[in-house]
Amino acid sequence: MMKSVWLALLLSTILSGCASSHFVERNQDTVLFSIRLPDAERVQLASSTDNFALHDIIKTESGDWQATVGSVQELAYFYVVDGSVYLPDCQLKETDDFGSENCLFQP
Amino acid sequence: MKYLTFTFVIIILLSVSPAVFAVELDPTLVQAMETSGFSAEQVQQVENMVGAAQQQGLPTGAVVGKVYEGIAKQVDPDRIVQALERVSSRYQYGYQLASTLSKKTRERFRLGNTITAGMAAGLTRQDAEELVGELEARAARMKQNDFYRLAEKTMLTARDFCRRGTSSEATADLVGKAVRKDFSAKDMEAMRNSFGQYGAHRSRESLVKEYGAAMDQGLKGKDLEGHDRGAGHGGEPGGSNESGAGGNADAGDSGSGNDSGNDGGGAGDSDRGHGGDSGGSGRGGGRH
């Protein structure tokens, strides 16, 4: 019994560590995008702010990929991870008219 | 006489030809399209669509932005052109509906963007029309300014419900009911904010049902919140430092870049992804 509890705890710790954590946070004049993708080699962010230009984003010491956008207007965005479009879990979405969706940030 | 007839025919031909809408595109866009494998004909099609949007008073930035978005996603040029048709058609419809609600250019522009953004989030044309119909039924009993405020908040509420994943039908039913129940613009905004706050942590469909039940009891605006708290479904939002105060941004179709033309509101949404740590940062803004 005890063994299975420990196993479950261990498993959940491993799984939560592997899960991609994503958030977008508004600061005063900027918006911080952060995503945890431990296995990714290259992560890019594209947003409607600048016509979806792809921007390489940096990996922090904690292993999260982070970028700051200097605009607090509403925007649509997505990531490109190792060359493929990646849409994180986000609460606000809209169609992208290409058969997928975009995440939305509302200040 | 022959010459006159000939001139007339030429004018008619020109007026129905899409080429008449052609505008000169930004060279950066043309270069991006050429690099991404657009044929000369496809570039021409994009030019025509941007020109047509301009001609019709629709935001051209939405069309241009969609091209760039498609290129960034490495979408096939043919599919990008098809997507532009969908964007243009959505804007045409959204603006057409908006023109039934207001004759003032600025108001029509804002409403048009909001309705279009709602449709981009999943609101069907039929449901958007239904909401506009409900609003029109209220118009005769309201002052023009009050009516515009109500129309704006109603369409923003519908847009946000859809953006949060509520079905078009459930959205139109609930928001339409709110209009019929004589919600003011303030009541509508309170419902929208409440849904933004609670909808992030609760089943959206059950929240919609609860709001509907509360309306049947004569409750409005902020009182809907009290009703759903007492309903015993649990799951109230946890850390309050995720969300700021006030409402959501009142922008249009975000894909359009700078063409939304609507004002931003306060902060208030939380858009956290899965698997993240639940503690808020305590910083000033909302997380999405």
Choose among B64, B73, B253: nearest Cβ to A85.
Answer: B73
Q: What is the pLDDT of residue A71?
A: 80
* Mutant choice from B115, B254, B270 vs A, greatest count of A C-beta within 10 A: B254
Residues of B in contact with A52 (CB under 8 A): 65, 68-69, 71-72
Q: How many helices (H) and strands (E) does chain B have?
A: 12, 0
Residue B29 has pLDDT above 60, yes or no: yes
List CB contacts of B203: < 8 A, sequence separation 6 or more: none
| Consecutive H or E run containing A35 | strand A31-36
Residues of B in contact with A92 (CB under 8 A): 160, 163-164, 269, 271, 288
Residues of A in contact with B80 (CB under 8 A): 98
Percent pLDDT > 90 in chain B is: 62
The predicted model gives B85-95 an average pLDDT of 98
Residues of B in contact with A78 (CB under 8 A): 73
Choose among A20, A91, A100: nearest Cβ to B200.
Answer: A91
Residues B130-162: pLDDT tens digits? Answer: 999 999 999 989 999 999 999 999 999 999 999
Q: What is the pLDDT of residue B203?
A: 85
Contact A91 B276 (CB under 8 A): no
What is the interface size between A and B, counted as CB pairs within 8 Å?
163
Residue B110 has pLDDT above 80, yes or no: yes
The predicted model gives B111-116 an average pLDDT of 98
Q: Which of B111, B118, B211 is nearest to B160 (CA)?
A: B118
Residues of B in contact with A76 (CB under 8 A): 69, 254-255
Q: Which of A48, A68, A50 is nearest to A58 (CA)?
A: A68
Q: What is the pLDDT of residue B240?
A: 33
Contact B251 A16 (CB under 8 A): no
Strand ordering across the sheet containing A22-26: A22-26, A31-36, A64-69, A58-59
Residues of A in contact with B71 (CB under 8 A): 52
- DSSP letter at B256 equals G
Contact A94 B83 (CB under 8 A): no
Residue B5 has pLDDT above 90, yes or no: no
Contact B264 A19 (CB under 8 A): no
Q: What is the pLDDT of residue A75?
A: 95
List CB contacts of B286: < 8 A, sequence separation 6 or more: A25, A26, A107, B242, B243, B244, B267, B268, B269, B270
Mean pLDDT of chain B: 80
Which domains are delineated in chain A? 20-105 (2.60.40.10)
State the nearest Cα–Cα gap between A7 and chain B, in angstroms.
20
List CB contacts of A15: < 8 A, sequence separation 6 or more: none
Contact A25 B66 (CB under 8 A): no
ipTM: 0.83
Burial class (CB in 10 A: 0-12, 13-18, 19+), B201: middle
Q: Which residue of A has its CA nearest to B64?
A: A51
Choose among A22, A52, A78: nearest Cβ to B276.
Answer: A22
| Consecutive H or E run containing B217 | none
Contact A92 B267 (CB under 8 A): no
Model pTM score: 0.79
Most confident segment among B5-14, B201-210, B222-231, B264-273? B201-210
Residues A62-95: pLDDT tens digits? Answer: 889 999 998 889 999 999 999 999 999 999 999 9
Choose among B64, B251, B281: nearest Cβ to A74.
Answer: B251
Q: What is the pLDDT of residue A2?
A: 53
Q: What is the pLDDT of residue B205?
A: 85
State the nearest Cα–Cα gap between B283 and chain A, in angstroms.
7
DSSP of B57-95, one letter per residue? T--HHHHHHHHHHHHHTT--HHHHHHHHHHHHHHHHHHH
Q: What is the pLDDT of residue B237?
A: 40
DSSP of B52-67, one letter per residue? HHHHTT--HHHHHHHH
Residues B161-214: pLDDT tens digits? Answer: 999 999 999 999 999 999 999 999 999 999 999 999 887 788 888 899 999 999
Residues A6-51: pLDDT tens digits? Answer: 554 444 444 444 455 999 999 989 999 999 999 999 999 999 999 9
Residue B254 has pLDDT above 60, yes or no: no
Percent pLDDT > 70 in chain B is: 70
Q: What is the pLDDT of residue B261?
A: 38
